[in-house]
């Protein structure tokens, strides 16, 4: 990976393609934030790759003036993983949505995080299928009435942050599309993380699911902001906090009732993901006080780098392999070429 000596700006990372999202869509805010952050990475445009799947969010590579790959439904993490292994010098982003990433792509997503491939995954969560005009998605709430669930959804929804923590992703965070400062900080932390970074963004679909996150987007007193090393307090004046009981369970309480010393101090660098997972369960859906910010950031061996070390060790100890010898090696057999008459 090379660094650029020229000072790049947001304009340098803005392509000449017409942005085609619905007016008022939260995707615009995420795009502008990412384009504004990319110059801060100090990388040349040709050293950055955006990979997407299918969905409204997956148009992203067209709008960023870097290398890009608009792949197939749900397979963006798998394709990005191939890039990280073969070209570890590149900075790889995956842009996906709650339908693309958690439905058909769920298996690819969890294994990318389990392996700790060196990629930054930004998942736009609008709790609906927007591109196909409003069917329920894996994050839609129970009872959601849509074109595909006219009597209400019966599915229990995913909590994307819980999924990522369950897969033991080494970086897990959540932000909101209309909070430019917070979103830029979370994207910046995720982009600089070594390993798989997973960032969920609450993104408003004003056409098919308008207002899904209003309880958090428009009411900051409901934002439980997670800051490493800081007591977890929230509310207009920090009057509420998160408390851990003796059995390890978490609950929300008035600070005046329990005392500030009882309020849990956030540890995002704790190796065990259990505490971060418990925090993610404080709100299964964003209809009230909901944690946002950095849930977890730890170091673990990166898959692509470990694979390259393994190859280098094999070459050093055994010499460079020969494909023809491998194909004609001892694990081959000859199939009788005779044909039976019919």
Q: What is the pLDDT of residues 221-279, one digit of tens each?
A: 999 999 999 999 999 999 999 999 999 899 999 999 999 999 999 999 999 999 999 99
Chain centroid offset of residue 341 CA: 58
What is the phi/psi pair of residue 135, to 5°?
-90, 160
pLDDT at residue 2 greater than cutoff 70: no
Q: What is the pLDDT of residues 108-155, one digit of tens each?
A: 999 999 999 999 999 999 999 999 999 999 999 999 999 999 999 999
pLDDT at residue 339 greater than cutoff 60: no
Q: Helices 303-318 & 76-86, crossing angle to 10 degrees?
A: 40
Q: What is the pLDDT of residues 92-110, one digit of tens each?
A: 999 999 999 999 999 999 9
SS percent in the chain: helix, strand, coil, step 5: 35, 20, 45
**Which residues, other chains included, contact 235 with Cβ-Cβ below 8 Å and sequence gap of 6+?**
221
What is the phi/psi pair of residue 176, to 5°?
-130, 140
Structure tokens at 77: 């993490």
Q: Domains of the chain by range and CATH?
A: 10-212+298-304 (3.40.50.970), 226-286 (no CATH)
pTM over 0.85, yes/no? yes
Structure tokens at 161: 């942050």
């Amino acid at each position: 990976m090379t660094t650029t000596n020229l000072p790049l700006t947001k304009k340098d990372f803005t392509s000449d393609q017409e942005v085609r999202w619905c007016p008022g869509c939260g995707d615009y805010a995420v795009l502008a934030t990412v384009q504004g952050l990319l110059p801060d990475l100090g990388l040349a445009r040709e050293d950055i790759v955006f990979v997407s799947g299918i969905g409204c969010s997956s148009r992203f590579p067209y709008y960023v003036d870097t290398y890009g790959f608009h792949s197939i439904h749900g397979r963006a993490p798998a394709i990005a993983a191939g890039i990280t292994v073969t070209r570890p010098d590149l900075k790889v982003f995956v842009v996906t949505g709650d339908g693309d990433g958690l439905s058909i792509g769920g298996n690819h997503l969890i294994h990318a995080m389990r392996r700790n491939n060196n990629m930054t995954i930004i998942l736009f969560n609008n709790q609906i299928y927007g591109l196909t005009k409003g069917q329920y998605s894996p994050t839609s709430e129970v009872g959601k009435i849509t074109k595909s669930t006219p009597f209400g959804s019966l599915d229990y929804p995913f909590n994307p942050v819980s999924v990522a923590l369950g897969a033991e992703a080494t970086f897990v965070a959540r932000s909101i599309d209309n909070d430019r400062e917070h979103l830029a900080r979370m994207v910046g932390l995720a982009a600089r993380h070594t390993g798989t970074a997973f960032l969920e963004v609450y993104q408003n679909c004003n056409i098919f699911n308008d207002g899904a996150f209003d309880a958090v987007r428009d009411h900051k007193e409901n934002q439980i902001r997670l800051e490493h090393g800081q007591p977890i307090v929230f509310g207009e004046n920090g009057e509420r906090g998160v408390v851990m009981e003796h059995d390890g369970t978490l609950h929300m309480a008035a600070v005046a009732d329990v005392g500030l010393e009882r309020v849990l101090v956030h540890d995002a660098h704790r190796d065990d993901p259990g505490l971060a997972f418990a925090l993610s369960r404080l709100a299964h859906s964003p209809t009230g006080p909901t944690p946002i910010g950095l849930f977890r950031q730890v170091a673990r061996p990166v898959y692509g780098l470990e694979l390259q070390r393994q190859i280098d060790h094999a070459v050093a100890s055994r010499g460079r392999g020969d494909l023809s010898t491998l194909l004609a090696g001892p694990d081959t057999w000859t199939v009788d070429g005779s044909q039976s008459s019919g």
